[in-house]
Structure 1
Amino acid sequence: MRPRITAVVGASALALAAFVPGGSASAAPAAHAAPPAPAAHAGAALKSPDIPLANVKGHLAQLQSIATRNGGNRAHGRAGFKASIDYVKGQLDTAGYQTQVQSFSYNGATGYNLIADWPGGDVNNTLMTGAHLDSVNAGPGINDNGSGSAANLEVALAVAREKYQPKRHLRFGWWGAEELGLIGSTRYVDTLPAAERSKIKGYLNFDMVGSPNPGYFAYDGDGSSGGGGPAGSAEIERVLRAYFATINVPVEDTAFDGRSDYGPFIQYGIPAGGLFTGAEDYKTAAQAQKWGGQANTPYDRCYHSSCDTSSNINDPALDRNSDAIAYAVWTLAGDGGQEPGGETVYSDGLESDTGWTVNPGGTDTATAGRFERGAPQATTYSGTSLQLTAPGGSNALVTGAQAGTDAGSNDLDGGTTTAQSGPIALPAGAKTLSFAWNFAHLNNSGADDYLRVRVVGPNGSATVLDQTGAAANRAGSWQTQTADVSAYAGQSVRIVVEAADNGSGSLVEAGLDDIKITK
């Protein structure tokens, strides 16, 4: 976990902002309970394995020994880091993974990323799990980030032991030079060909999951605390939180602030999520009452220090988080990414014609940029992103998919455009609608411009998204919206999306994708 900085670093020019949590030794929270099996998905019961704490701590002991033999650290450019890479690679090679070491140069020293692919699964729908393996120069980095690296390693080994063959392809990564500014993970994501990068449909990041005075934090995928991740991140957050709900451990949000290796992934619109037990910030009295431990002391008093050794670990926190990682991998990979406890009853990624109708009522007034199902081309105006490429796959429901000669060529103009889905038969128990949406405009927009999504049933309709324009530049961003549709269970419904450019020549773009209903 890098310290707080506000500079732009790395080839992908990530803007790095302030962070939330921080660390210190303390009384342990309540004893760990054995996790139950995840709920059944797609007709098959998927049970994530219990991750043996002793195995995870065995990996930490190896990392500690490596640091002790190599100047007390495992930092970028030092022999201790290369030995750490070799140790993890050896474990994975023996287990049957296809591994590769990616080398790079930074600050005059050679760094390494380790990538491990589990054979099988849909490579066009890859779920990746990662952690940085390097320490700072000051210490061995056993919590930061031996803990995340060891937990991910043991989950990967559990995949092999269980001979798990999920629908999605599984890939694991261990990053170098994170402590110097996300260098390794940035290099990996930036140098992937665009076609290969687009195959990564989710990234799980685990950086510091055994802090001695732990908090329990999940990255804020749904934006409930202010800044969510790319579309699909909310689902990852829900899966991680669902595990902790089964063991009655409350979870708080932590921000996607660019401080760890999810940063390069979310910059490319890849859904991300992860867990964190705190670094140098202080645990509050309310948090100590909720989680145990010491109030008004750091989550990790040895953060980036020589005392970040194998004794700087809270066993219950490491155990819980290791099991949560396994739960997330099994749940998200087992059925292509549905929410735990929720069977998918309808899904439309707009890749094929599923019966959408444009201008179903014959009342649309737009003269250009009407909704269409197509592969949207990115458009910008003076640095403001407007139309975005699809968040998953190639197609989306968008206002004028082609870019044209300038940003205003195929944007929505002249009034309203409407698109309506085909009929969707919701079974008993149908509960949650989720979808990705984008609404962007320039400062020539106003409150008359809007994007609305409704669910229409035989006895009325409900508006589940209502975004209006304003006299300000609003950059495009795929976001996830969820809504309770249990009132429509057992009925046939349609989804109706409507966008409007009712101002005088406003530059407006809108889109919808990745529609799913679960029960």
Structure 2
Amino acid sequence: MPKLRRMAASVVVLALSVSGTALAGSTAHADTPRGGAGSERVAATAAVPDVSLAGVKSHLSEFQQIADANGGNRAHGEPGYKASVDYVRAELDAAGYDTALQTFSYFGETGYNLIADWPGGNPDEVLMAGAHLDSVSAGSGINDNGSGSAGILEVALEVSRQDLQPDKHLRFAWWGAEELGLVGSEHYVDSLSSAQRQEITGYYNFDMIGSPNAGYFVYDGDDSDGTGSGPGPDGSAYLEDVLEEYFATIDVPTRGTDFDGRSDYGPFIRVGIPAGGTFTGAEGHKTQTEASLWGGTAGQAYDPCYHSGCDDLGNIDDTTLDRNADAIAYAMWTVGGTQSANDFSVSLSPTSGAVTAGGSVSTTVSTTTTRGGAQTVQLSAQGLPSGVTAEFAPTTVTSGESATLTLTASADAPSANSSVTVTGDGSESSTAATYGLTVNGTSSCSGENSATGTLSSGDRVVQPDGSYFQAPDGTHTACLDGPDGADFDLYLQKWDGWSWADVDSSTSAGPDEEISYNGSSGYYRYQVHAYSGSGSYTVGWDAP
């Protein structure tokens, strides 16, 4: 992992439906279309293996021996890096993978990315896992990032040993020159056409997964922490959820880590590809709270040998490495799914809508047989907001047929902004699609005057209706009812003859605000600010 540098993430909306991508400029080819937008597979999952810690450490021993025999490092442009690539490729070739070597040039030296595809799986859906293979020139780079490289290698070999037949096509990647600024992964992403980029819709990144004073960090795909660069592209939250689910099964709490551009997920999220992964800490220092959560020593670096000569075989915590290797397997097995003889897809049209309290909104639920024969599908909806009911007509279809979903909001339904999951449970497989529902509901906030609307995070709006009102001397009272979980603020502004000036405000950390202001006559208006979070709001006010 290179030292901290900021990278902006370009976020576009994509479905978590992953498809094969050709490696531009290489000898491997896979030119397949993208899966249907709005669809998320809930595939059956084969038993997840317990990845061998001894196997992972055997790869680390090989990396150490390679470094020792080649000037003490495995850095870009040095013989130790190419020897590392050759070792990993030989392991994968022997295990039955289709491997391809992509070359690039940086600082006058030839660099290498190694791409390995596991034969089989749905060619319209590809799940990737990657790690950088290079070290810094100061040392052998066993934690940074021999650990991630060895972890995904042992998982890839376990796929072969199990003869896994996943629903998705699996692809593994080892990147070059990451320590010089994500050069290898940038080259890979930049070499792809727009269509090829669209085909990759899920990438897991594993960088430094065995730190000796470890933290258990999972990339914050949904920006639930509310810090840093914001959420990853649509689908990243699902990748995060799967990893958090694994750590919950072994009673290890996790914390989010920001998509700050420090590792090889950066080029992927830049072009809108969902990403996730784990990280156990670099030069940052463990807090007392984290030491209470995970053990270790507060006030010391997660990896005291970060980017130094002591990052060798003694710089690995076995328990941390073992848990993270198992997390990689859990993610690949769970998201990859298991093939069934017969399969189908679910799609929605439209994929989003709004409903007012007391009203209803509808969408068409279409099913398509994608493999084998048709099967009976039971339709259901999950994640309904308070006061909303769902009705399918019909509730059961044969794949290939359609139904109508009607969402009805009661007269007293509160405002909400929700993702409703529409699930099709078939006799052999299940699949789901997501519907974005906005409820413009009732509010406890009222006054002689009121206005409603919807804001995205960071947006502002002026009420009433982008205009203003004239008021005599007296007291102004107002309230704001924002969406749950968001931070909306309310400002009262007065025209001072030159500009609009704030004369009162309510800026708590929650969604609801109140103002009471005693002012002189003049022209006034209210401004609503979505400080963080998005959704519908109601503002009510009384003028003097």
TM-score for both structures, normalised by structure 1: 0.64
Partner of 1:282: 285
Deviation at 1:186, TM superposition (A): 0.5
Partner of 2:335: 332
Deviation at 1:494, TM superposition (A): 8.9
Partner of 1:170: 170
Contact 1:357-1:419 within 8 A present in 2 as well: no
Tell me, in whole angstroms, the C-alpha distance in 1 between the residues paired with 2:55 and 2:415: 46
SS at match of 2:314: coil
Contact 2:361-2:406 within 8 A present in 1 as well: no
Deviation at 1:4, TM superposition (A): 1.2
Partner of 2:407: 456
Tell me, in whole angstroms, the C-alpha distance in 1 between the residues paired with 2:312 and 2:354: 64
Contact 2:211-2:280 within 8 A present in 1 as well: yes
Contact 1:420-1:495 within 8 A present in 2 as well: no
2:362 to 389, 410, 420: 420
Alignment of 1:106 with 2:118, yes or no, is no
SS at match of 1:198: helix
Tell me, in whole angstroms, the C-alpha distance in 2 between the residues paired with 1:316 and 1:282: 20
SS at match of 2:316: coil
Alignment of 1:253 with 2:256, yes or no, is yes
Tell me, in whole angstroms, the C-alpha distance in 2 between the residues paired with 1:85 and 1:433: 49
Tell me, in whole angstroms, the C-alpha distance in 2 between the residues paired with 1:457 and 1:419: 7
Deviation at 1:201, TM superposition (A): 1.5
Tell me, in whole angstroms, the C-alpha distance in 2 between the residues paired with 1:174 and 1:43: 27
**Letter of the aligned partner of 1:146 in structure 2?**
G
**Letter of the aligned partner of 2:241 in structure 1?**
R
Partner of 1:470: none
Structure 2 counterparts to residues 135-154 of structure 1, below 5 A: 135-154=135-154
Contact 1:420-1:496 within 8 A present in 2 as well: no
Q: 1:325 to 1:358 in 2, by over 3 A?
A: closer
1:172-213 deviations in Å (ceiling 9; x for gaps): 000000000000000001101222221111000000000001
Partner of 1:50: 50
Partner of 2:528: none
1:266 to 246, 252, 269: 269
1:147-167 deviations in Å (ceiling 9; x for gaps): 000000000001111111111
Tell me, in whole angstroms, the C-alpha distance in 1 between the residues paired with 2:197 and 2:43: 31
Q: 1:63 to 1:246 in 2, by over 3 A?
A: same
Contact 2:419-2:436 within 8 A present in 1 as well: no
SS at match of 2:329: helix
Q: 1:461 to 1:209 in 2, by over 3 A?
A: farther
SS at match of 2:163: coil
Tell me, in whole angstroms, the C-alpha distance in 2 between the residues paired with 1:62 and 1:76: 18
Tell me, in whole angstroms, the C-alpha distance in 1 between the residues paired with 2:352 and 2:282: 51
Deviation at 1:423, TM superposition (A): 7.2
Partner of 2:120: 120
SS at match of 1:72: coil
SS at match of 1:166: coil
Tell me, in whole angstroms, the C-alpha distance in 1 between the residues paired with 2:435 and 2:171: 37
Partner of 1:64: 64
Structure 2 counterparts to residues 110-259 of structure 1, below 5 A: 110-226=110-226, 227-259=230-262
Alignment of 1:310 with 2:320, yes or no, is no
Contact 2:362-2:407 within 8 A present in 1 as well: no
Q: 1:232 to 1:119 in 2, by over 3 A?
A: same
Q: 1:82 to 1:106 in 2, by over 3 A?
A: same
Deviation at 1:250, TM superposition (A): 0.2
**Letter of the aligned partner of 1:421 in structure 2?**
T
SS at match of 1:201: coil
Q: 1:44 to 1:296 in 2, by over 3 A?
A: same
Deviation at 1:76, TM superposition (A): 0.3
Gaps (5+ residues) in structure 2?
11-40, 367-376, 386-404, 424-433, 441-452, 455-460, 467-544
SS at match of 2:46: coil
Tell me, in whole angstroms, the C-alpha distance in 2 between the residues paired with 1:420 and 1:279: 49
**Letter of the aligned partner of 1:167 in structure 2?**
D
Deviation at 1:484, TM superposition (A): 9.1
SS at match of 2:364: coil
Partner of 1:322: 325
Deviation at 1:432, TM superposition (A): 3.5
Partner of 1:37: none
**Letter of the aligned partner of 2:55 in structure 1?**
N
Structure 2 counterparts to residues 481-492 of structure 1, below 5 A: 482=419
Deviation at 1:101, TM superposition (A): 0.4
Q: 1:432 to 1:359 in 2, by over 3 A?
A: closer
Partner of 2:388: none
Tell me, in whole angstroms, the C-alpha distance in 1 between the residues paired with 2:281 and 2:435: 44
RMSD of aligned alpha carbons? 3.7
Deviation at 1:347, TM superposition (A): 4.5
Give aligned pairs, total.
369
Tell me, in whole angstroms, the C-alpha distance in 1 between the residues paired with 2:301 and 2:406: 47
Q: 1:166 to 1:317 in 2, by over 3 A?
A: same
Contact 1:345-1:430 within 8 A present in 2 as well: no
Tell me, in whole angstroms, the C-alpha distance in 2 between the residues paired with 1:485 and 1:199: 24
SS at match of 1:205: strand
Higher mean alpha-carbon deviation, 270-279 vs 186-195, is at 186-195
Contact 1:419-1:497 within 8 A present in 2 as well: no
SS at match of 2:256: strand
Tell me, in whole angstroms, the C-alpha distance in 1 between the residues paired with 2:326 and 2:86: 25
**Letter of the aligned partner of 2:364 in structure 1?**
G
SS at match of 2:113: strand
Tell me, in whole angstroms, the C-alpha distance in 1 between the residues paired with 2:277 and 2:197: 19
Contact 2:46-2:338 within 8 A present in 1 as well: no
TM-score for both structures, normalised by structure 2: 0.61
Tell me, in whole angstroms, the C-alpha distance in 1 between the residues paired with 2:129 and 2:247: 19
SS at match of 1:311: helix
Tell me, in whole angstroms, the C-alpha distance in 2 between the residues paired with 1:316 and 1:165: 29
Tell me, in whole angstroms, the C-alpha distance in 1 between the residues paired with 2:213 and 2:406: 46
Partner of 2:38: none
